[in-house]
Amino acid sequence: MTQDLRYSALKKTPFHSKTSMASRTNKYYNWNGYTVPTEYSTTELEYTAARNGTSVMDLTPMGKYEITGDHAHRFVDYLVTRDLSEMKDNTVAYIIWCNEDGKVIDDGTIFKFSSTKFMLCCAVKIYNWLNDSAYGFDVSISDVTDTIAALAIQGPTSCSTLKKFGAEDLEKLKPFEMREYKIDGFDILISRTGFTGDLGYELWTDPKNAEATWDNIEIAGKELKLRPFGMHALEMTRIEAGFIQTNTDFMAAEDSLRPTRMRSPYEIGMGWLVHLNKNSYFVGKKALKKEKEESTTERCLVGLDIDGDKPAHGSVIYNSKKEDIGIVTAALWSPIMKKNIALASLKRPYGIKIKENIFAEIYHPEELEYRKIWARCKVVKRQFFNPERRNKVPADLYE
């Protein structure tokens, strides 16, 4: 039986023929309506590639929106909390944006091609939010999720891999810069961005060019310890880097069923992205200003360094009086640091003023029985792992 093309099963990305061929385990999951691998062979080895060689991941399902028009720059600056008025062409910025109540809708990256053309990448679906917010601005918004194929190329040898692939002088590209290349007749955009907290790039091209690009990158990285990596390995690296994940570490304001679950930027460690002194208005500014002035922030998102070696998945966090003060949103035994780390959402003043005598209750499964571990936690910087090579210019080359 041939499948009717209208039949709306989960979609396949333009790399699917390649990623499915590379998959040894046939483990897939549903990311934003696409079928993509969770794991290709072994998560540990995929993780290692990201910290040792080059890891390649199919990023296509990530939401991508193009914002064009005379007011594009003004609109983007109005949309997000960060001051982007000075943003230069061919650069990328990490951003968050809020609703009118100053609650975070999502985080993402914004790519500036020119003052009339931007691309926004993020996790949640915001086509309607962008259109509604754009009222009165001379901009047009299009969802380009399907029309741009994207790969993440991350790891210490990633620059060398991409140079071999044909990206000349790539080592000179600074973090959060991007450059357009013409390789094998196709336009390819490469940005020095990523979600692993390491040296790394993201590559954006036409879906027609996807399969050839995958093959050529694989050839280029052959001697540079290249490996495709899946969502599980990415999750490990992003926790080490202290990056937050929408609807995992905080609930997107527009997705929260329970209004009390919505978070302001200050509650998820994103206060540094809120520029209240920005000249122009931005969505949520009034509410955030009020929150700041009246110090009404209730929670915080912190890094925890936890005793022992058992990851604190979903653990409840307590103070010394055994009062519930928060919850772990992501936990990991970090292979590179040999540390038991976690991201946790705590009720202030815990995590801000009180950083001592905090405990995690960990239920560790041991052959059909749970061992209950009462582990001491230290509040630390959320960015657990931040190697020098990440921001080095020129980037490290292996030749």
Binding site for other proteins (CB under 8 A): 1, 3-4, 6-11, 30, 32-33, 125-128, 131, 143, 254-261
Residue 110, class by beta-carbon neighbours within 10 Å (0-12 exposed, 13-18 middle, 19+ buried)?
buried
Q: Cα separation of 50 and 360, whole Å?
A: 29
Q: Cα separation of 45 and 228, whole Å?
A: 10
Specify the residue, 51 or 103, whose C-beta has the smaller distance to other proteins.
Answer: 103
Specify the residue, 114 or 128, whose C-beta has the smaller distance to other proteins.
Answer: 128
- Cβ atoms < 10 Å from Cβ of 277: 7
Shortest CB 255 distance to other proteins, Å: 6
The DSSP H or E segment spanning 128 is helix 127-133
Q: Is 110 within 8 Å of 76 (Cβ atoms)?
A: yes
Name 366's bridge partners: 369
Shortest CB 30 distance to other proteins, Å: 5
Q: Cα separation of 119 and 4, whole Å?
A: 33
Specify the residue, 258 or 372, whose C-beta has the smaller distance to other proteins.
Answer: 258
3-state SS class at 183: strand
Specify the residue, 257 or 368, whose C-beta has the smaller distance to other proteins.
Answer: 257
Shortest CB 322 distance to other proteins, Å: 22
Specify the residue, 255 or 307, whose C-beta has the smaller distance to other proteins.
Answer: 255
Shortest CB 145 distance to other proteins, Å: 10
> What are the structure tokens assigned to 26, written together?
């046939």
In whole angstroms, what separates CA 81 from the centre of its chain? 18
Shortest CB 259 distance to other proteins, Å: 5
Specify the residue, 1 or 368, whose C-beta has the smaller distance to other proteins.
Answer: 1
Shortest CB 143 distance to other proteins, Å: 6
DSSP 132-147: HHTTTS--EEEE-TTT
Specify the residue, 42 or 297, whose C-beta has the smaller distance to other proteins.
Answer: 297
Q: Cα separation of 132 and 78, whole Å?
A: 13
Shortest CB 129 distance to other proteins, Å: 8
